[in-house]
Amino acid sequence: MSEQLSGWLIYKKKDAEKNHGFIKMLVDEAANLHISLQLVLEEDLLYGIKNSQFTLSHSIYDVKKINFAIVRTINPLLTKQLEYQGIRCFNNSAISEMCNDKALTYQYAAKIGLPLLDTYFISYETFQPELVILDFPLVLKQVDGRGGNEVYLIDTLEGILNKLKDYPHKRFVLQVFAENPGKDVRVFVIGSKIIGAVLRESSTSFKANYTLGGNVSAYQLNEAENLLVSKITSSIKADFVGIDFLLNSKNEFIFNEIEDVVGCRSLYSTSNVNAAALYMKYIKKTINRE
């Protein structure tokens, strides 16, 4: 390993344009730690197999000269390719694959004993309404949806069938309606350390996402909530994620999802936490340890 750590910060072009502020924070904090961090667009990478060996190329930058990659795009295949070529990825491909598929995430959450809403995994081809015993309204989510998009409130069986017909090749999760709609808590975690949490609320929608216009405020976790988060972080071994919880009628946490490429706008708007600085320090410590 070279004396100076060197890494790529990988984004899709459209996401890089929207997140230029956070990108600058990461690059600046890396420089403060004597780490070279270069923004690389996913669209500029060519990768696959050449002469029976893994290959990944960029017109300017050499993958052989980097120690790590911060993957801020949803592409488990690309992350796995980097890992096969010896590059430490933050987050790793296992986290990327699971956390960007709601069905896989709920399966894992059930495996480790988290409180969950009743949920069915369905698609246009496999949906059997006579076997689904749930009361309307229901929430239908595409398994790969993000940011509150591709999430639908459904009032009738016909509504489910029509939505499935609109996306015949997509997989969905079908869930009971939350007891406390329009309200959730996002917990930001680096490694196993909670760096902050926010309460997200909407008075106009059952979706509380900040980017969809929800209101946010700082949130202080109680002992039971801290223990629940620790149960997750000790199991999945992620680097930087947001863990989202719905609230039941007693305001107790119900697991909802894990954001792999977690956005930090709500954290920055409600606290003085410098997520970029904490993340880069974590990355440097992790690479030096490994």
Number of domains in the chain: 3
Q: Average model confidence (pLDDT) for the chain?
A: 94
CATH number, domain at 15?
A: 3.40.50.20
Q: What is the pLDDT of residues 68-79, one digit of tens each?
A: 999 999 999 999
117-121, 180-184, 283-287: segment of lowest average pLDDT = 180-184
Q: What is the pLDDT of residues 196-219, one digit of tens each?
A: 999 999 875 565 554 555 789 999
Long-range pairs for 24-27 at CB < 8 Å and ≥24 separation?
Answer: 25/274, 25/276, 25/277, 26/70, 26/276, 26/279, 26/280
Q: What is the pLDDT of residues 88-109, one digit of tens each?
A: 999 999 999 999 999 999 999 9
In-domain check, residue 171: yes
Domain that holds residue 37: 6-90
In-domain check, residue 98: no
Q: Provide the sign of the torsion angle of the four alpha carbons 216, 222, 225, 230, taken in this order.
A: positive
Q: How does DSSP assign 114-161, residue by residue?
A: -----EEEEETTT--GGG---PSSEEEEETT--TTTTEEEE-SHHHHH
- Alpha-carbon gap, residue 10 to 58, rounded angstroms: 12
Element spanning 176, H or E = strand 171-176
Out of 176, 191, 222, pick the residue that ends a domain. Answer: 176
Out of 176, 191, 213, pick the residue that ends a domain. Answer: 176
As to burial, measured by CB atoms within 10 angstroms (0-12 exposed, 13-18 middle, 19+ buried), residue 270 is middle
Give the CA radius of gyration of the chain: 20
CATH number, domain at 162?
A: 3.30.1490.20
In-domain check, residue 106: no
Over 60: is that where the pLDDT of 38 sits?
yes
Task: Kindly state whether residues 159 and 242 are assigned to the same domain.
Answer: no
pLDDT attached to residue 45: 98
Task: Kindly state whether residues 187 and 167 are assigned to the same domain.
Answer: no
Task: Kindly state whether residues 215 and 255 are assigned to the same domain.
Answer: yes
CATH number, domain at 210?
A: 3.30.470.20
Task: Kindly state whether residues 71 and 161 are assigned to the same domain.
Answer: no
In-domain check, residue 141: yes
Q: Mean pLDDT throughout 2-14?
A: 91
Task: Kindly state whether residues 202 and 263 are assigned to the same domain.
Answer: yes
pLDDT attached to residue 182: 84
290: which DSSP letter?
-
Q: Please tell me whether residue 168 adopts helix, strand or coil conformation.
A: coil
In-domain check, residue 111: no
Task: Kindly state whether residues 172 and 195 are assigned to the same domain.
Answer: no
Task: Kindly state whether residues 124 and 215 are assigned to the same domain.
Answer: no
Which residue spans within 177-218 are E strands per DSSP?
Answer: 183-190, 193-201, 215-218
* Backbone phi, psi, residue 186, to 5°: -110, 130
Out of 161, 176, 191, pick the residue that ends a domain. Answer: 176
Element spanning 171, H or E = strand 171-176
